[in-house]
Structure 1
Amino acid sequence: MKQPYDHSFHAFIQGIILVGFAMLMLHLILTGNIVYYIAPMMMPFIYFALVVFFLLGIIQVFRSTTKTDHDHHECACEHDHHIKGPSWVKTIIYSIFILPIVLGFALPDRSLDSSVAANRGIQLGGGGNASSSATENSINETGQNNNGSTSRAEAFLEDPEGYMENLTAQSGEEEHYQFEDIYDEGWFDDYYAELYEELMNNTVIEVTEDNYLDVMTVLDLYLDDFIGKEMEIVGFAYRETDFHSNQIVAARFAMTCCTADASVYGTMIESEESSRFEEDTWIYARGTIKKDHYNDQPIPVLEDAHIQEVEEPDSPYVYPSF
């Protein structure tokens, strides 16, 4: 005999799932571990989603406890809202939603590391080159420009009609975007020219979480002028397979929206101390800038650098300043 569909039970389970996702987001916010997954600019959307999920979940739970004479919950849309199939099918469907909640609470939160960097490729400098075939194109697989500041999605949002017209005109043709293509933009020249002057007047160039991508870009644009200046930087240790024993990279993941669009930027360091540090160890390095080449691309290198281990920063990622 076919079991009747229990609307109250399913409404209760669905409500618990919604509340569970809200509690998971709240947990990540309160512990501060949300920074491992979402850029700060996206936090308003997280707060909005938390409230909506919680309210909808409570409404669903409340509905599950309400009994009416018309208990079949029919509506005027003439569609069947039952979850079809035997009990084991329904269990699998609900498990797809419950499992991420359970794993979100059970598994430790951690930042992206060198294994991800090896797969995505690391950009040595501000984006003018990439040390892996995974980043040979100026537009990476997420659609983000290598300078980390402008994406195809942003271009579409700014001018949807213009973007689509340009896309149509280029249909059937291979796209060739270069980081240098934006050098002629007036805002770009003015912003980085001012930062260049500021950095040139500093005795030591301090690369911080706030100016990380900007400094990397300035070094790309004016590398010759910075040769001989001292610079200090913090990042996680990373090595390519063809590095020499005295070479290591202080790397950071740059995030625009979330971990899905994270790109890896780093500065090459040459020091006899390099071999002492394992990958993913957070390091502080201070050395003198020189110009070198890697994969036939000019890059800044810190030579004769002093390196020491440091604690992972509260915010392990860096973000575009505009």
Structure 2
Amino acid sequence: MNWNYEAVHRLIKTGILIGFASLVIYLIVTGNMLLYIAPHLMFYVEVSAAGLVIMAGFQIYILVLSLKKKVVVCDCGHDHLHEQDHGSRHSHSHGPSRSIWMHVGIYSLFALPLILGTLMPNTALAGSLAQNKGMNVSGVAAKAKVGSSELVEIDGNADAELKKMFKTNVYNRDYAKLGIQLYNHELIEMKDEWFIEKLQAINTFVENFQGKQIKMTGFVYRENGLPETQFILGRMAMTHCIADISPYGIVSETVDAAQYKNDSWLTITGTIDQTMYHGQKVMKINIDNIEPATAPTVPYVYPDWNFASKL
């Protein structure tokens, strides 16, 4: 085997590509990729993993050839097997530059994130991030345009009285439909699916839900100004990737609230009420029962942009 200068470069490139492909495939197989991106982006990550595997295979092929003979890959349009001498010698090099520090710098740009991605633990963000971003306890309201404040009833076969209760502007009709579905449940469970959508629907029509039973699992969060009898039970929501993660939660009240530590996970059951939070009327849970809970492996919730079509 001829371990020439070019072969060494091929070996390094092959190692980097195999490393990234292995890391991405590992995150996909273990499910840890969902700590970094939302489920609707998984297809593109899987395609990228396949692309990395193909490129690594090509580099391995070129590496094997370069160990046997010199391989030149370029499109300069002349024969590289001999030198031409037509009055003057045609000679140039297509091999990698021999500036060691330049190559060390270039390869480090790829190797460093690979090493960090391999060695750093895959952990989820919780209350510490909420301290920086602030807790959203009202959901994502659909804002009515100026001149569009007229209330309308939703379509469908819902009870006429319920349609009147859930009158809203045209931009919140989907949340009104969801609100009617939730209103008909004896116990409203704030599961991962549609967590944000349910939070918005209940907050939009919080008067209708007062006294309704609700159950939720989340982490304990506190901020300045909350009474000792209250904490916020929160979840972290991811729209596309970890860069846009945001905390959502519900103000929860019990006389022994102070005994529950920040970031501890609880499952609470109680009745829906309302309170003021930063000058805004939002829902509150009057807690009837609290149980310790274990944080899920992937503790994030994700918005469903197509939830209206599934109602």
TM range (shorter): 0.7 to 0.9
Matching residue of 2:252: 269
Matching residue of 1:87: 100
Matching residue of 2:86: none
Aligned residue among 213, 230, 238 for 1:230 = 213
> Does 1:213 pair with 2:226?
no
Greater mean alpha carbon deviation, residues 291-300 or residues 93-102:
93-102
Quote how far apart the aligned CAs of 1:241 are: 2.5
Greater mean alpha carbon deviation, residues 103-112 or residues 208-217:
103-112
Checking the alignment, whether the CA contact within 8 Å between 1:195 and 1:218 is kept in structure 2 is yes
Matching residue of 1:302: 285
Matching residue of 1:172: none
Matching residue of 1:76: 76
Counterparts of 2:176 and 2:225 in 1: how far apart (Å)?
A: 35
Percent pairwise identity: 29
> Secondary structure in 2 aligned to 1:122?
coil
Quote how far apart the aligned CAs of 1:223 are: 0.9
> Does 1:103 pair with 2:113?
no
Counterparts of 1:295 and 1:61 in 2: how far apart (Å)?
A: 60
Checking the alignment, whether the CA contact within 8 Å between 2:220 and 2:260 is kept in structure 1 is yes
> Secondary structure in 2 aligned to 1:66?
helix
Q: Which amino acid aligns with 1:12?
A: L
Q: Which amino acid aligns with 2:136?
A: Q
Cα RMSD for the two superposed structures:
2.7
Counterparts of 1:100 and 1:180 in 2: how far apart (Å)?
A: 44
Matching residue of 1:165: none
> Secondary structure in 2 aligned to 1:287?
strand
Checking the alignment, whether the CA contact within 8 Å between 2:268 and 2:287 is kept in structure 1 is no
Matching residue of 1:21: 20
Pick closer, same or farther for the CA change 1:62–1:194 going to 2, 3 Å: same
Checking the alignment, whether the CA contact within 8 Å between 1:273 and 1:306 is kept in structure 2 is no
Checking the alignment, whether the CA contact within 8 Å between 1:125 and 1:216 is kept in structure 2 is yes
Q: Which amino acid aligns with 1:317?
A: Y
Counterparts of 1:83 and 1:225 in 2: how far apart (Å)?
A: 71
Q: TM-score, normalised by structure 1?
A: 0.75
User: In terms of Rg, which structure is larger?
Assistant: 2
Quote how far apart the aligned CAs of 1:30 are: 2.0
> Secondary structure in 2 aligned to 1:65?
helix
> Secondary structure in 1 aligned to 2:300?
coil
Counterparts of 2:105 and 2:69 in 1: how far apart (Å)?
A: 31
Structure 1 residue ranges without an equivalent (≥5): 129-146, 148-178
Pick closer, same or farther for the CA change 1:87–1:220 going to 2, 3 Å: same
Q: Which amino acid aligns with 2:107?
A: Y
Q: Return structure 1 stretches of 4+ with deviation > 6 angstroms.
A: 80-83
> Secondary structure in 1 aligned to 2:226?
coil
Checking the alignment, whether the CA contact within 8 Å between 1:14 and 1:60 is kept in structure 2 is yes
Q: Which amino acid aligns with 2:300?
A: Y
Q: TM-score, normalised by structure 2?
A: 0.77
Q: Pairwise mapping of residues 156-175 of structure 1 onto structure 2 (< 5 A)?
A: none
Counterparts of 2:59 and 2:124 in 1: how far apart (Å)?
A: 35
Matching residue of 2:234: 251
Give aligned pairs, total: 267
Counterparts of 2:288 and 2:263 in 1: how far apart (Å)?
A: 18
> Secondary structure in 2 aligned to 1:43?
helix
